[in-house]
Amino acid sequence: MIIVGERLNGQFGDVEQAIKQKDESIIKDLVDAQVEAGSDYLDVNVGTAVPSREKADAMVWMVETIQKFTDVPLAIDSPIDEVLKVGVEACEHPPLINSAQADPEELNDYIQLAMKHDASLIALTMDEDGVPNDVAKRVELAGNIVVAAMEAGMPFDRLFIDVVALPVRATQAQPGIVLEAISQLQGIADPSPHFIIGLSNVSQGAVKRSLINRTYLVMCMAMGLDAAILDPMDEELMDALITTELLLNKQIYSDSFLNAYRSSKRRG
Amino acid sequence: MIIVGERLNGQFGDVEQAIKQKDESIIKDLVDAQVEAGSDYLDVNVGTAVPSREKADAMVWMVETIQKFTDVPLAIDSPIDEVLKVGVEACEHPPLINSAQADPEELNDYIQLAMKHDASLIALTMDEDGVPNDVAKRVELAGNIVVAAMEAGMPFDRLFIDVVALPVRATQAQPGIVLEAISQLQGIADPSPHFIIGLSNVSQGAVKRSLINRTYLVMCMAMGLDAAILDPMDEELMDALITTELLLNKQIYSDSFLNAYRSSKRRG
């Protein structure tokens, strides 16, 4: 499982404060904790901590600050082109670009950006019409993404298709639609692209968020999800993730299987 | 989700003691707790509490005792023909017969027994050769079971196909094989039979049994499992079950969705 740590995001109060006050110690603590918990990438998103015109600078500050403390690669996360580009350019290691929509022009721009930086790319199964209400349209958009990547010569192991999880509280059929889409997309290409979701979306506005998150992660992994943007510091979530890998025969059983996985994922 | 409470089984020390000492209070406590926790059936198994020649009597005592305290139907569980038959005959309400193997003769005998008592039947995807090592053989045996039920005129809503979960510790590929079998068996007949497993088998001999059980239950439910023999008094397990139903859109979201489900399942 490829784990993208979600906590370096200006939507969280501590990170907002860090960005506003240029407080490196808050950033360092979140870097250390997420790396220790097994993150393969650290997501970096300035959120709404600063006005739009200051977001590019804030992104560069975040990227440069984080890289003082770790060499774990970053997922540069912004809906704003310019913010995303300066973030990618500030990376010392090839990042994960988060994210492109499936509209042809935007998709091709971002694939080119990824190719230029040897980066990986998250491409969303949504377009100018928004997030599809059904399985078929998600699968169709994923097909478009795969074709665009193929035509650009982008290796599929650098392509992350995000099937776009939506809140169960608001749209209760959507979690099941996403599960079915993940299932149908298995085998869409060989080698397969990765399949990813922003996990905590599913519990937006709901109670028992951690329970909902970890239950949904297990369901999605059973269907073939192999990457997620999530809070790796949520210990019960990580226990569920590790146990799912065990049951999918992706990790050898030992009585210390939880610790064994954590040790294997930990890096400096 | 159809919940078969597993705790009235002589393999557990308290139940073994109850059987040996004809102690109704132990039985009553386990009946009450499992019914309160939402059991649709209560599994009844004398286990190894008494020698073989006393098992039929012990089964009848258990069934009669349990029925003093509840009208929740029973799952009569024994590998011994005679024990199973006297158990079924002692039932005041149509029980679930647990279980028949897929060998034609045994299967037909048990289907006839079920028909005679308006009972439901658990039929295992295993035969005289044991539990299949692959998906294809499980699916083939499930096909045989469906055909046998159809030929006997048994309604599919009274047929529970058990895809036979095996311990992850001993045979690590098996949990994934069972998941794939559940997935492939969706749509095998219309209306569909139920799909069931004996959940705690998966964690036999392992550490973190409750974590493994609830993780595997969620995975199986994502694939289409709609019944399980499990410990309904394991609160975290039931939380995971309820949350999975929510995410599969089988229960309406409310901020009290855990309590709402429990209230709806509770019966006297």
Test B249 with A176 for CB contact under 8 angstroms: yes
- All residues of chain B having their beta carbon less than 8 Å from the beta carbon of residue A173 are 249
pLDDT of residue B267: 62
HSE toward the beta carbon, residue A139, CA cutoff 13 A: 15
Interface pTM, i.e. ipTM? 0.96
Give the pLDDT mean for A45-70: 97
| B221, B249, B253 member nearest A169 (Cβ) | B253
- All residues of chain B having their beta carbon less than 8 Å from the beta carbon of residue A248 are 175-176
We report the CATH number of the domain holding residue B70 as: 3.20.20.20
| Single pTM value for the model | 0.97
Q: Which of A247, A257, A262 to mutate to test the interface with B (most CBs of B within 10 A)?
A: A247
Give the whole-angstrom CA distance, residue A65 versus residue A49: 16
| A216, A244, A255 member nearest B247 (Cβ) | A216
Residue B250 distance to chain A (closest CA, Å):
9
Give the whole-angstrom CA distance, residue B53 versus residue B71: 28
Point out which residues pair with B211 in neighbouring strands: none
Given a cut of 50, is residue A243 above it in pLDDT?
yes
| B202, B208, B253 member nearest A168 (Cβ) | B253
| A169, A218, A223 member nearest B215 (Cβ) | A218
pLDDT (tens digit per residue) in B10-58:
999 999 999 999 999 999 999 999 999 999 999 999 999 999 999 999 9
Min mean pLDDT across A168-172, A230-234, B181-185, B263-267 is at: B263-267
Buried b (16+ CB within 10 A) or exposed e, B190-202: eebbbbbbbbbbb
pLDDT of residue A267: 62
Instruction: Collapse the DSSP code of A120 into the 3-class scheme (helix H, G, I; strand E, B; otherwise coil) and give the result.
Output: strand
Q: What is the DSSP letter of B122?
A: E
Give the pLDDT mean for A137-160: 97
Q: A25 pLDDT band (50/70/90 cuts)?
A: very high
Give the pLDDT mean for A257-262: 94
Q: What is the DSSP letter of A194?
A: E
Q: Which of A219, A221, A238, A252 to mutate to test the interface with B (most CBs of B within 10 A)?
A: A219
Per DSSP (E only), the strands in B113-217 are 120-124, 159-162, 194-198
Tokens matching residue A117 = 């930086």
What's the domain count of chain B? 1
Tokens matching residue B248 = 């599969």
Give the whole-angstrom CA distance, residue A210 versus residue A216: 10
- What percent of chain A stands above pLDDT 70? 99
Test A249 with B202 for CB contact under 8 angstroms: no
How many residues make up chain A in this entry?
268
- Expressed in percent and rounded to 5, the helix, strand and coil fractions of chain B are 50, 15, 35
- All residues of chain A having their beta carbon less than 8 Å from the beta carbon of residue B252 are 172
pLDDT of residue A268: 43
- Which residues in chain B come in under a pLDDT of 70? 267-268
Phi, psi of B125 (to 5 degrees): -85, 60
Give the whole-angstrom CA distance, residue B8 versus residue A250: 35
Displacement of CA A19 from its chain's centroid (Å): 21
pLDDT of residue A65: 98
- All residues of chain B having their beta carbon less than 8 Å from the beta carbon of residue A177 are none
Give the pLDDT mean for A111-123: 98
A195: containing domain:
2-265
Give the whole-angstrom CA distance, residue A74 versus residue A94: 8
Given a cut of 60, is residue A258 above it in pLDDT?
yes
Phi, psi of B89 (to 5 degrees): -65, -25
pLDDT of residue B94: 98
Number of A/B CB contacts below 8 angstroms equals 90
Give the whole-angstrom CA distance, residue A135 versus residue B215: 25
Asked if residues A48 and A13 have their Cβ atoms less than 8 Å apart, the reply is no
Given a cut of 70, is residue A140 above it in pLDDT?
yes
Q: Which of A177, A246, A248 to mutate to test the interface with B (most CBs of B within 10 A)?
A: A246
